[in-house]
């Protein structure tokens, strides 16, 4: 399967998915750590893809949604953003609302 199709399928088949460096249990950068903790603190299970273990995804995800950095959070197929946006939404309570509607 071509990489762009794999990315699209991963996003469309998971209501909440975080493309991150590392895993929620063992994040490999501070931004991914804070982002995964914020999503987890909202009480929902979420899928994740470790872009360090998937170099094709890492090299091509920026082309999918024109977003250059990691992590990237998608809810119901829509790019929410990276760490700064995730943390802002978490701190003002909007992330929990978005996640509750997706779950």
pLDDT in tens, 3-15: 999 999 999 999 9
Q: Which two tokens stand for residue 42?
A: 């909202």
Residue 1 — pLDDT band, cuts 50, 70, 90?
low
CATH number of the domain to which 12 belongs: 3.40.30.10
Q: Check whether 58 is labelled as a binding-site residue.
A: yes
Residue 103 — pLDDT band, cuts 50, 70, 90?
low
Q: Check whether 83 is labelled as a binding-site residue.
A: yes
What pLDDT digit, counting tens, does each position of 54-70 carry? 999 999 999 998 999 99
Question: 80 and 94 in contact (C-beta within 8 Å)?
Answer: no
Split into its structural domains, the chain has a count of 1
Q: Check whether 29 is labelled as a binding-site residue.
A: yes
* Percent of the chain surpassing pLDDT 70: 98
**φ and ψ of 21, to 5 deg:** -95, 110
Q: Identify the pLDDT of residue 32.
A: 98
pTM for this prediction? 0.95
Q: Check whether 46 is labelled as a binding-site residue.
A: no
Give me the domain span that covers residue 66.
3-102
Q: Give the whole-angstrom CA distance, residue 46 versus residue 19.
A: 11
Q: Check whether 42 is labelled as a binding-site residue.
A: no
- Per-residue pLDDT, averaged over 81-92, amounts to 98
Q: Check whether 97 is labelled as a binding-site residue.
A: no
Q: Give the whole-angstrom CA distance, residue 39 versus residue 97.
A: 11
């Amino acid at each position: 399967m071509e990489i762009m199709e794999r990315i699209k399928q991963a996003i469309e088949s998971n209501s909440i998915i975080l493309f991150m460096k590392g895993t929620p249990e063992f994040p490999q950068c501070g931004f991914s750590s804070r982002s995964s903790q914020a999503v987890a603190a909202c009480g929902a299970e979420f899928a994740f893809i470790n872009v360090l273990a998937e170099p094709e995804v890492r090299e091509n995800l920026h082309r999918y949604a024109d977003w250059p950095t990691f992590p990237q959070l998608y809810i119901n197929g829509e790019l929410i953003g990276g760490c700064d946006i995730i943390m802002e939404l978490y701190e003002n309570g909007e992330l929990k609302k978005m996640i509750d509607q997706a779950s």
